[in-house]
């Protein structure tokens, strides 16, 4: 369970990160923030590239920044964009998050303040795992 103060801190950092997004092609600016088990928050924004395959999502920037700082136990992720409904992480970001935190709480929000909270397992029930789980261990 995420306490409301921590939720607000995550959302605030994600909103601030969104302001630095580099999105000249889509103009779809996204901010994200990830909470580590140690209580540290790392943020990220989406960074587009003329070669669209080189574009990286805000969620992955935040996750990879935390990992690069030595944190692999992530407990929550917040993502914010200017969308009618709370924005959800794309499938690729969900899979990257599952690598480090299969039980992560995910806060999805829009710039109007609407929020949806879910568990990553709800958003990605059959995440890819290697090595594959043994029969009966689930996916």
48 as an active site residue: the answer is no
Alpha helices in the chain (DSSP H): 4-18, 58-68, 91-100, 120-123
The one catalytic residue among 4, 40, 59, 122: 59
CA 105 from chain center: how many Å? 10
For residues 10 and 78, the answer to whether their CB atoms sit within 8 Å is yes
Q: Which residues contact 40 (CB under 8 A, 6 or more apart)?
A: 66, 69, 71
**Dihedral Cα 78, 102, 60, 75, nearest 10 deg:** 40
Which active-site residues does the annotation give?
Answer: 59
């Amino acid at each position: 369970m995420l306490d409301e103060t921590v939720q607000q801190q995550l959302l605030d950092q994600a909103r601030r990160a969104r302001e630095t997004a580099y999105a000249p092609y889509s103009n779809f600016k996204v901010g994200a923030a990830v909470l580590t088990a140690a209580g540290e928050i790392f943020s990220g924004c989406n960074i587009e590239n003329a070669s669209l395959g080189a574009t990286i999502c805000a969620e992955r920037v935040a996750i990879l920044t935390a990992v690069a700082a030595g944190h692999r136990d992530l407990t929550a992720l917040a993502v914010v964009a200017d969308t009618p409904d709370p924005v959800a992480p794309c499938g690729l970001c969900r899979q990257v998050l599952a690598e480090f935190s299969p039980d992560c709480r995910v806060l999805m929000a829009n710039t109007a303040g609407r929020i949806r909270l879910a568990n990553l397992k709800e958003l990605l029930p059959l995440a890819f795992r290697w090595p594959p789980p043994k029969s009966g261990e689930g996916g």
